Structure 1
C-alpha cells in the first residue's frame, strides 16, 4: 500500500514522496486479503476542521504522524514547491518535525485521524 510521505532533508527543506507499507497475500475467512506488519502507535486523535480559504503558515507536526483522511480533502504544500492532494481513505506519513515544514489546506473542511507513530513505514 502506498502512502504519501512528507519529510525534511538535512538542509531543512520539506519534500513529498511516497512510502510503501508492504502487504503480504493472505486468506481471511476464505477471502483473499493483503495484510501489513503491525506498527506501533502512541495515540490517536480525531480532528474536524471547518472549511477555510485561509492560507496557513508553514508549520511542523509536533511528532511523527500517520494522517488518514476520513472526509473532505487535504492539500499539502512543502517548501520545495510540490503540492499534493489527498482524499478520503488516503494515508500520509508526516514526519517533517524539523526544518521549514509544510502548509496544509482544507477548503471544503475535513475530518482526519492522526495516529502518532514512533517508527515504521520508513523509506
Structure 2
C-alpha cells in the first residue's frame, strides 16, 4: 500500500485536506500525482467534505495498453483550530449574518437532512 494513494484497478484515490476558506470561496489547490509531479485542481465555491474531483489519465498505466486510469481526489474541509481573537470575531459575525432573501448559507445536503428530520418529527406527532 502507498502512504498517499489508494489503488482501485488502474484508478487512484487520494484524500486531500483543504482550508475552510478555500471550500467556501473557491480557489485552486495542487495535488501530488503518482509520477511525482503536481496537478492543479479548481475548487468551486461551496465545496463540501467528500466532494470528489476526477483527473482523467492521471492514474496507473493499464497493462499492455496505452490507456491510463483516472485519479480521484476526495477533499476534506479542515476546520480551523487555535483561532486568533479577530478570527473568532469574524466567524461569530459570519454565523450571525442572515442570508439574502431566497438564499441559504447551508449546503443542499444539510438542508435535505433537516427537512427529512422535520418530516419525520411531523409524522411522529400526527
Which interval holds the TM-score relative to the shorter structure? under 0.3
Q: Highest CA radius of gyration, 1 or 2?
A: 2
Give the structure with the higher percent strand: 1
Instruction: Give the structure-2-normalised TM-score.
Output: 0.22
Instruction: Give the structure-1-normalised TM-score.
Output: 0.22
- Which structure would you say has the larger RCO, counting Cα contacts within 8 Å and 6 or more residues apart? 1
